[in-house]
Structure 1
Amino acid sequence: MQNHATRHTVLGCLLTGILLSPSVSAQESRVSKVPFFTFGTTLEEQEKQLKTNPLLKRFKVSSQELAKDHHRPTYHYVSPEGIMNDPNGLCFWQGRWHMFYQGFPPEDPRVHWGHAVSTDLIHWRDLPYAIYPNPEDRVYSGSTFVEPNRVIAMYHGVGSGSMVATSSDPLLLNWSKVTGKPVIPIPKPGEKLPYNVFDPAIWKKGDQYYCVLAGQRPVGPGGKLIRALFLFRSPDLANWQYLHPFIENDGYGMVGDDGACPYFWPIGDKGKYILLHFSHMSGGKYMLGDYDQVNDKFIVTDGGNFNHGPMLPNGVHAPSAYPDGKGGIVTIFNVNEGKTDKTWGRIMSLPRLLTLDENGKLLQEPIGDLASLRSKKVTLAETALPANQEIVLPTVSGNALEMHAVIDPKNSPTIELNLLRSPGKEEYTRILFYKNGGFWDRSEVKNVQYSAISIDNSNASTLEGVRSRVPETASVLLKEGELVDLRIFVDKSIVEVFVNGRQCVAVRMYPGRNDSQGVSIRAHGSPATLKTLEAWQMENLFANP
């Protein structure tokens, strides 16, 4: 497998191009109605063109209008216009991070790949749409592979099959589709194939390209469908040979899961691999294991979830990922909405860095220059938490916060933090830490008792039409006597909680009151101690788009 951790920035696109003609014939009916532009090949040319690009001017106006929504986030990425779905093709090229996503342009709301660029994974700059539909009807999910002289995107083209496109300019503004047609076509009417043609992940081993296509096989209990990925190989990106199903020993999925939005890459320094993916039943997931490069099989040895309940509402959706060049994997998810909104809805999670601990277990922590967003800071000294007494923290409040809390639960079975709390507690979002309240791990000789972290948004909103989520609850392993270390990010309609660098839970919520900004803490059953708490107000990235 070749290392594709080449690095790159993104600045923009502009008009050297031509508006595509309206559709007339069956072939032309797939031509996008969104203005299309061709850009120069140098960074200087591209930056000059971007300054007058009509799409970017439109995005600015749209962003300013959408920013009036009380629930729109201030430091989580969201589309500058319209709704948004899966992140796609995350990559690092010539010093900049590029994130693509499923965008829905207003004049042609079929999926196009939206595009944003960042040097720090936090401050994202919008660019014009990158990949337009045609011959495919919609540009769906896929991944990228970076070579020294180009970026390769492989994605699912709805109605056509697997598509491959390449770009080599400084800001990845100009894309060319290999062969101009699907390289792995969907089956013809009546044709039966031994594989599904769906979301792909691409990599390279030796002088051959490889990809897996997501899907299902009817080989579960009673012939039920279970997750599957199908392996292909190509010498040139244009001609692909089907090999076989890729996964073996997969015991980490639900019956009915599929392997959508996959990403496959090495992780850590001990030869392990990770396969990130999405289930239309149970949200974001991962598998860890060994890559048998002789037989081209992925032997699964571990796995888990990024979403800990149903996909909808308010849950963590699909991943897009790319290596950090140091053995870790950077990943971003889209997070689903919990209310009907025709103008916007889904947002991106904060970027996470995935690594492995000394025992091969997955670690995850926020990554990116979050510190640059911090403004007013409040620090609380050590505070005793009497049993069964809610303590309101009067100096800590806000709906766009970063908090770092270290807690000694002592003998308390449950520590409760309430965020986005109105003064009369008409609205509040609960974070609950259950000491030794998670699953028993009985997979090895030595049984281990986990703790659990939970977010409950059932009292988060008094608004009509807002849907609550079954409490999002995940197990997390703490060592005997280890303090609870919480990094909490609150951003208008999302809360993300990282626990001791080992687990993360994220949920959307929609407070209806302007005064739902308070914070309180409570130790259940037995006293505990809040060792430290730091809180920062977070700047609004979208105040001046």
Structure 2
Amino acid sequence: MSALTGILATEVRKIEETAAMSREIQKQRLTHHLMPPTGWLNDPNGLCYFKGRYHVFFQYAPFDAEGGLKFWGHYSSEDLVSWRYEGVPLYPDSNYDCHGVYSGSAIVEDEKLHLFFTGNIKMDGDYDYINNGRQASTLHVESEDGVHFSAKEVAVDYRNYPEDYTQHVRDPKVWKDGADYFMALGGRKKNDQGAVLIYKSEDLKNWDYDKEITTEEPFGYMWECPDLFEIDGEQALSISPQGLEREEYRFQNIYQSGYFLLKEDKINVKEFQEWDMGFDFYAPQTFEDAKGRRILIGWMGLPDVEEEYTNPTAKDEGWQHCLTIPREITLHDGRLYQYPVEEMEALRGRCCEIDETQKNIEVWKPFELDLKLDSRKCRISVGDDLMFEADGREACLRLSEKAGAGRKQRKAVIPSGRLKELRMLVDTTAVEIYLNHGEVVSSTRYYPGKTTQVVKLEADKIQGHIYELKEMTGIK
């Protein structure tokens, strides 16, 4: 450990210990969403299953709930509901990442866990930090136990990216195909067109540029957090594009996250599907676990939204943001569905059965609502803070002024034509809504004023259950 690493480690440990002493009075901390011990959390990184444990790394700014110098934090679990905080594995302590350890991914090979990530450098001076003034190299470390990592090596130097790209190239996602390894990097071209760069390697050490994946016409100026994977014989490319024009039913957030199903690397802009239609979702990453499931976790937040809405926990309790619950990805009729992994059902506690005769139900908080419906129209209200409506193909999520903290309304179209199933997982300050077993998903932070709520159900034919949700263990 270098002297700088030791200093940073000591300071992080101090601030985490100070935050731990005030946990009992932090009423807005979450119960079944991974969150930072203190400070700021954003992108999920390095998602993998390694030597009997799930590993979830995350971009982490422990010193300031509004962001700042980025590290990586780390949780691990045997079952996706009982977690252990593993501390900080990556510090901004080298000549290649002293201004931030940015996002990346993991690959397990030869009994070792390999992490690839972006090291960020911003030079002092009068720069635009797009075409000049920034260095973003792809770095690599490895581990035999998933907790302690080797010294950093440069996998792709910032000077070796194609000449028609700006200095915004980042977020490596690495996978193996046959005997070769591949890396996808998100990029911004000099003509302000988003794209993905593909690199190839035989040994995880030496990487050569292979090809580019992009659209004929620009689809946003930057593609962040690329993820290329196969599911049921289909190739999917997940990206987080920046610079799309907002529409009534699409692209309602400042930045989006979604996917294309690829046909021989051909992309049709009209076929882009958003992962999540809520207020708070960005930078998702997927991985395959030992059961062969494709699992997705996203950042339940967004960058650059300060003028639109806020997260009161940053000011009130000194922390901000969380990750979504793990979601299993499946392919149905040319569309990717997302649904909570089955392990989440272990958190179910007390249960109340629902039928058409029950319209107002007092609920525990946090809770889960699981419904089957046979009605063109339905309305579900959680106190005066949250209302969800569906009418035929249209769905709408609305929040009260106080609970939304600037968030007001998000719309979605139900491709299959109507709502038949709904599952809602409500945490202290977060909610995830799954329509038709994950055909459409909406995730949002919200800040209700009451710890108990009354759920009001309005629909012709409805049945299901409300469950009390127990806390995940180990969430700092």
Partner of 1:65: 22
**Partner deviation per Cα, 1:441-467 (whole Å, 9 max, x = no partner):** xxxxxxxxxx23322113453xxxx63
> Does structure 1 residue 507 correspond to structure 2 residue 466?
no
Q: Compared with structure 1, are the counterparts of its residues 543 and 203 closer, same or farther at alpha carbon in structure 2 (3 Å cutoff)?
A: closer
Alignment: residue pair count: 433
Partner of 2:461: 529
2:346 counterpart SS class: helix
Task: Determine the C-alpha separation between the residues in 2 that align with 1:277 and 1:177.
Answer: 29
Output the TM-score relative to the length of structure 1. 0.72
Partner of 2:163: 193
Partner of 2:470: 539
1:33 counterpart SS class: helix
| 8 Å CA contact 1:161, 1:183 repeated in 2 | no
Q: Which range moves more in the overlay, 209-218 or 87-96? A: 209-218
Q: Compared with structure 1, are the counterparts of its residues 90 and 469 closer, same or farther at alpha carbon in structure 2 (3 Å cutoff)?
A: same
Following superposition of structure 1 onto structure 2, how do residues 300-379 of structure 1 map, counting pairs within 5 Å?
A: 302-308=271-277, 314-324=279-289, 328-336=293-301, 338-340=310-312, 341-342=314-315, 343-357=318-332, 359-379=333-353
Shift of 1:511: 1.5
> Does structure 1 residue 144 correspond to structure 2 residue 106?
yes
Q: Compared with structure 1, are the counterparts of its residues 255 and 197 closer, same or farther at alpha carbon in structure 2 (3 Å cutoff)?
A: closer
Task: Determine the C-alpha separation between the residues in 1 that align with 2:409 and 2:429.
Answer: 16
User: Counterpart amino acid of 2:465?
Assistant: E
- The unaligned stretches of length 5 or more in structure 1 are 1-17, 23-30, 37-53, 220-224, 385-390, 422-426, 436-450
1:376 counterpart SS class: strand
Following superposition of structure 1 onto structure 2, how do residues 88-107 of structure 1 map, counting pairs within 5 Å?
A: 88-106=45-63
2:19 counterpart SS class: helix
> Does structure 1 residue 288 correspond to structure 2 residue 261?
yes
Following superposition of structure 1 onto structure 2, how do residues 441-480 of structure 1 map, counting pairs within 5 Å?
A: 451-459=393-401, 461=403, 467-478=405-416
Partner of 2:183: 211
User: Counterpart amino acid of 2:277?
Assistant: H
Q: Compared with structure 1, are the counterparts of its residues 470 and 58 closer, same or farther at alpha carbon in structure 2 (3 Å cutoff)?
A: closer
Q: Compared with structure 1, are the counterparts of its residues 111 and 512 closer, same or farther at alpha carbon in structure 2 (3 Å cutoff)?
A: same
Pairing partner for 2:196 from 220, 229, 235: 229
Q: Which range moves more in the overlay, 228-237 or 361-370? A: 228-237
Q: Work out the percentage of aligned pairs sharing the same amino acid.
A: 25
User: Counterpart amino acid of 2:137?
Assistant: S
Shift of 1:56: 7.7
| 8 Å CA contact 1:282, 1:307 repeated in 2 | no
**Partner deviation per Cα, 1:126-176 (whole Å, 9 max, x = no partner):** 002112222312111111122132122111110143333233323x11212
Shift of 1:488: 0.6
Shift of 1:520: 0.5
Shift of 1:487: 0.8
Task: Determine the C-alpha separation between the residues in 1 that align with 2:6 and 2:103.
Answer: 18
> Does structure 1 residue 431 correspond to structure 2 residue 431?
no
Deviation >6 Å, runs of 4+: 54-58
1:114 counterpart SS class: strand
| 8 Å CA contact 1:267, 1:327 repeated in 2 | no
| 8 Å CA contact 2:193, 2:219 repeated in 1 | yes
Shift of 1:298: 5.7
Task: Determine the C-alpha separation between the residues in 2 that align with 1:92 and 1:538.
Answer: 25
Q: Which range moves more in the overlay, 300-309 or 468-477? A: 300-309
> Does structure 1 residue 110 correspond to structure 2 residue 80?
no
2:9 counterpart SS class: coil
Task: Determine the C-alpha separation between the residues in 1 that align with 2:6 and 2:213.
Answer: 35
**Structure with greater Cα Rg:** 1
| 8 Å CA contact 1:89, 1:321 repeated in 2 | no
Partner of 1:21: 3
Q: Compared with structure 1, are the counterparts of its residues 116 and 57 closer, same or farther at alpha carbon in structure 2 (3 Å cutoff)?
A: farther
RMSD of the TM alignment (CA)?
3.0
